Amino acid sequence: MNPPATPTAVPSPKPTIADLLGQIDPNKLNDHLNVLAGFGSRDVRHPAHAKAVAYLYEQLGAIPGVQLQTQRSAYQSIPLENIFAIIDPTPTYARETGWVIVSAHYDSISNRTPGWDPRTTAAPGADDNGTGTAALLELARIVAPQRSRLKERLVLAFFDGEELFFKGSAAYVSTLPKGRYQAAINLDMVGFNPIADRLDLLWYTQGSAQLRDLAIATNQKYAIGVAPLNAQFAADGNTIMDAAPFGLAGIPSIAFVQRYGENDATFPGNYSFHTVNDTPDKITNKRLWLKAAKLTLAVALEIALAN
């Protein structure tokens, strides 16, 4: 009598992009946001800024498969520190072009507060931009275990100095060789809107039209539900977002933001941003925040995921 055959192990199916979107944890988003806002200020001139830097290193350093890099620069003698979480397809990945970058700024400001002093005034920055920073931390947690499925390097950039008119991202872009990135995606202020799950989709110069179209199609493909998703053309750096330096350098670049412009029927106005009142309780639409994180991740994976 022959011994029974050993069952053949069936490999687990690879999670789809839709599966990965479902892994974004609203509780983790909240936890990160509360910690970031709880530092009191992340203004580059405030002592508590260093606590935010330490927190980002701690959280990202605990994720297997994430490589950390730092870029330090200065603006008017103010030190800035960009933090990069790099996720490569393989340990030997060596391509120097075609990368994908997803960014959010982690610094804050409260210059609309009477008597503001950046060295001492609180700037909790919950919506601006704790929401984007928390989302980027979640994306790192979700993508790193899938790194062997990537076809290109994915860089998650935590930019400093955006509140000084995107000085951190501009310093970084000034160092880039031609062709380094095929796409840049930025997430900034995505948690406030008590009346609609809307986002503005800023796209920079005509070179970003294809990336804009991908974002619109991705929202529909995965039934993410951002509505309306309003495409806005940005021809210059007057749209003060970290996507701007990339777009103006000829890199296809988009940004997701709850509103860039005047109030309208789907946005009542956020009057707490850039004040001491930009606190976690002002995140009035956590559903939108989750959708924005999903849309950002889905667009990045549509480009960077091999299978």
Question: What is the residue extent of each domain of the chain?
Answer: 17-304
Domain topology for 17-304: Aminopeptidase (3.40.630)
DSSP string, the chain: -PPPPPPPPPPPPPPPHHHHHTT--HHHHHHHHHHHHHTSB--TTSTTHHHHHHHHHHHHHTSTT-EEEEEEEEETTEEEEEEEEEE-SSTT----S-EEEEEEE-----TTSTT--TTTS-B--IIIIIHHHHHHHHHHHHHGGGGGGBSS-EEEEEES-GGGTSHHHHHHHTTPPTTSEEEEEEE---S--SS-B-EEEEEESGGGHHHHHHHHHHHHHTT---BSEEEEEE-STTS-STTHHHHHTT--EEEEES-SSS-BTTB----STTSTT--GGG---HHHHHHHHHHHHHHHHHHHB--
pLDDT by residue for the chain (307 residues), tens only, comes to 555 555 555 556 789 999 999 999 999 999 999 999 999 999 999 999 999 999 999 999 999 999 999 999 999 999 999 999 999 998 889 899 999 999 999 999 999 999 999 999 999 999 999 999 999 999 999 999 999 999 999 999 999 999 999 999 999 999 999 999 999 999 999 999 999 999 999 999 899 999 999 999 999 999 999 999 999 999 877 788 999 999 999 999 999 999 998 899 999 999 999 999 999 999 999 999 999 999 999 999 999 997 6
